[in-house]
């Protein structure tokens, strides 16, 4: 039997053994989520906006400064950089796992030159000349994946990579939501600070009039003291509100890395006559659809996949390992080429196939069984975490919708209250001009109207923050199609394999 035929037979046998190996199927079936939401869907949209996708949702605030701050925060966020580093580490782990499925090939080369002083007697005192020796060789080794250990390890790393990549998107959504929340709170703070100043001015004027009236003997000194105390309290509240605005600016500086003077200048230039309010968020009618939009849910799902593959890896460790080695080399000797009678054959080509090594686990003190038990325990943990994350995803959407629906119910009451107290203030001003109402009555009506106005602004900000919470709860515009690489994870939870048909978005890490 010729060498070529033998090599062909060995290669065919090894290919058959390796192709027969496979990782086990993940048979875990998640619990079916509720068929519908408990809270009614918030169809009442701010500004009568139409429900759109979430990809460019931040632009729907019609506030360029908000978009600018979000972009700045995402560029300098350590959380996003950490998520990106985890993606790179996961990619490295996939490369390492894939290398275990392929042969390892190395090349060796050496060159040496030597000269001796040895003289051969009787040969006219012949002296050995200097000689050059060179050799080059290629070595190959391959651990055959007979039991599917390496293939399962690669599948586990691919699952982790898919989940880690989804968490990178989640980190961007979280940073955007945090920045927007701080920005909206600052805009609310501006409104409340303006109202607090008007209230402080009103109570100050009331205290001044009360003091004059008390000195004239038309008001009890106790009432005048009460007015002074109310004025001092209002002035303190104004200073406290101003501090809150300062702290929110400093928080935005820390998030965006924009210098405080520059940020203050940008905030002052921006139109703050109205509180920022987004368009609506489209909410799927069935919670099961929501789970496909959450990157944290996909990450938990992929962790279940990875844990199942880790069981296969641990199980394969209990069986024999089969490896194959081989090498081929070429040698050169200048002395032999010069003086050998058969110069053309003085150089040598050597090769070998083998040994075919088998490693049998005989006794390990229960280590392999313990590793298998630990892998199964981690699989149960991954399933529990997945179910918890899925429940939490539904809870976050329910809470955001409950807040929005409640705010919508209170909005009419707040508008009626603000409108009524404004009408009272207008009527009191007309009575004051006609000398039918005192300045004290006018200032009291003004303070009540200002408080109603502050309550209205606070409710509108609460609605905007609830929309942001809902935006984040439904995935922030993420979809599995944005993940790369992605794994096919069908309803029957079959073996996950790379899906090369998924498109790549431009903002991948």
Q: Which domains, and CATH codes, for the chain?
A: 33-101+148-319+376-482 (1.20.1600.10)
Contact 403, 460 (CB under 8 A): no
Comparing CA positions, the residue from 142, 145, 144 lying closest to residue 105 is 142
Predicted pLDDT of residue 39: 75
Of the listed ranges 9-13, 165-169, 196-200, the one predicted with least confidence: 9-13
Distance CA 472, CA 459 (A): 20
Predicted pLDDT of residue 509: 42
The b-or-e profile of 223-239 (16+ CB within 10 A means b, else e) is ebeebbebbeebbebbe
Whether the pLDDT of residue 179 is over 90: the answer is yes
Q: Which helix (H) or strand (E) holds 456?
A: helix 439-473
Three-class DSSP category at 393:
helix
For 340, other C-beta atoms within 10 Å of its C-beta total: 13
Confidence at 20, pLDDT banded by 50, 70, 90: very low
Which is higher by pLDDT, 381 or 130? Answer: 381
CA angle 173, 175, 179 (to 5 degrees): 120
Q: Which two tokens stand for residue 238?
A: 């104004």
C-alpha dihedral sign at 471, 59, 47, 277: positive
- CB-based contacts of 328, cutoff 8 Å, min separation 6: 137, 138, 349, 350, 351, 352
Mean pLDDT of 421-429: 87
Confidence at 3, pLDDT banded by 50, 70, 90: very low
The CA R_g of the chain, rounded to the nearest whole Å, is 38
Comparing CA positions, the residue from 188, 196, 237 lying closest to residue 451 is 196
Question: Where do we find the tokens 């006609």?
Answer: 434
Predicted TM-score of the model (pTM): 0.76
84-134: per-residue pLDDT in tens? 889 888 988 888 888 888 888 888 888 887 765 555 555 555 555 677 778
| Contacts made by residues 371-380, CB under 8 angstroms, sequence distance 24+ | 371/314, 371/317, 372/311, 372/314, 372/315, 372/317, 372/318, 374/314, 375/307, 375/310, 375/311, 375/313, 375/314, 376/311, 378/307, 378/310, 379/304, 379/307, 379/308, 379/310, 379/311
Predicted pLDDT of residue 54: 54
Distance CA 17, CA 15 (A): 5
Whether the pLDDT of residue 260 is over 70: the answer is yes
Predicted pLDDT of residue 502: 31
Per the document, the length of the chain is 509
Q: What backbone phi and psi angles, to 5 degrees, belong to 130? A: -65, 145
Q: What backbone phi and psi angles, to 5 degrees, belong to 357? A: -100, 140
347-375: per-residue pLDDT in tens? 577 788 878 888 888 888 888 889 899 99
Distance CA 445, CA 84 (A): 56
Contact 157, 86 (CB under 8 A): no
Question: Where do we find the tokens 């060789």?
Answer: 137
Comparing CA positions, the residue from 294, 249, 284, 255 lying closest to residue 267 is 249
Whether the pLDDT of residue 486 is over 80: the answer is no
Query: What's the chain's average pLDDT?
Result: 78
Mean pLDDT of 162-181: 91
Predicted pLDDT of residue 316: 87
CA angle 341, 343, 345 (to 5 degrees): 115
CA angle 280, 292, 386 (to 5 degrees): 120
Predicted pLDDT of residue 223: 72
Q: Which two tokens stand for residue 75?
A: 């560029």
Comparing CA positions, the residue from 69, 65, 150, 153 lying closest to residue 104 is 150
Q: Which two tokens stand for residue 271?
A: 């139109």
Q: What backbone phi and psi angles, to 5 degrees, belong to 55? A: -60, -45
Distance CA 402, CA 398 (A): 6
Q: Which two tokens stand for residue 384?
A: 């529990």
């Amino acid at each position: 039997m010729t060498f070529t035929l033998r090599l062909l037979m060995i290669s065919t046998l090894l290919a058959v053994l390796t192709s027969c190996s496979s990782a086990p199927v993940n048979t875990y079936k998640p619990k079916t989520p509720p068929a519908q939401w408990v809270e009614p869907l918030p169809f009442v949209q701010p500004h009568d906006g139409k429900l759109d996708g979430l990809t460019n949702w931040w632009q729907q605030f019609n506030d360029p400064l908000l978009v600018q701050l979000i972009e700045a925060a995402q560029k300098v966020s350590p959380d996003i950089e950490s998520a990106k580093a985890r993606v790179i580490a996961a990619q490295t782990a996939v490369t390492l796992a894939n290398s275990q499925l392929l042969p390892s090939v190395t090349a060796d080369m050496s060159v040496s030159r030597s000269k001796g002083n040895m003289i051969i007697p009787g040969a006219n005192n012949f002296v050995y000349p200097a000689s050059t020796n060179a050799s080059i060789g290629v070595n190959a080794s391959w651990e055959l994946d007979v039991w599917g250990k390496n293939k399962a390890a690669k599948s586990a790393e691919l699952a982790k990579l898919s989940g880690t990549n989804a968490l990178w998107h989640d980190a961007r959504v979280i940073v955007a939501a945090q920045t927007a929340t701080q920005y909206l709170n600052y805009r609310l703070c501006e409104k409340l600070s303006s109202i607090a100043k008007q209230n402080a001015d009103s109570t100050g004027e009331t205290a001044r009039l009360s003091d004059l009236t008390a000195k004239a003997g038309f008001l009890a000194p106790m009432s005048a003291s009460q007015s002074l105390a109310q004025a001092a309290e209002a002035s303190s509240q104004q200073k406290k509100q101003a501090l809150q605005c300062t702290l929110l600016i400093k928080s935005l500086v820390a998030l965006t890395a924009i210098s405080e003077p520059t940020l203050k200048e940008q905030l002052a230039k921006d139109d703050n006559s109205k509180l920022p309010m987004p368009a609506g968020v489209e909410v799927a009618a069935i919670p099961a659809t929501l789970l496909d939009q959450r990157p944290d849910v996909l990450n938990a799902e992929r962790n279940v996949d990875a844990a199942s593959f880790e069981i296969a890896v641990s199980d394969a460790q209990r069986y024999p390992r089969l490896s194959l080695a081989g090498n081929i080399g070429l040698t050169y000797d200048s002395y032999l080429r010069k003086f050998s009678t058969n110069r053309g054959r003085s150089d040598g080509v050597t090769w070998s196939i083998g040994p075919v090594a088998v490693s049998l686990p005989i006794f390990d003190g229960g280590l392999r069984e313990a590793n298998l038990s630990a892998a199964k325990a981690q699989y149960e943990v991954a399933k529990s975490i997945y179910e918890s994350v899925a429940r939490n995803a539904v809870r976050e959407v329910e809470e955001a919708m409950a807040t929005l629906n409640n705010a919508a119910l209170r909005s009419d009451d707040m508008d009626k209250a603000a409108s009524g107290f404004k009408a009272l203030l207008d009527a009191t001003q007309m009575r004051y001009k006609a000398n039918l109402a005192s300045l004290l009555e006018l200032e009291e009506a003004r303070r009540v109207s200002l408080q109603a106005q502050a309550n209205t602004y606070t409710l509108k900000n609460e609605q905007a923050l609830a929309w942001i919470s809902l935006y984040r709860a439904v995935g922030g515009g993420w979809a599995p199609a944005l993940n790369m690489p992605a794994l096919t994870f069908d309803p029957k939870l079959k073996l996950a394999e790379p899906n090369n048909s998924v498109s790549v978005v431009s903002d991948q890490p």
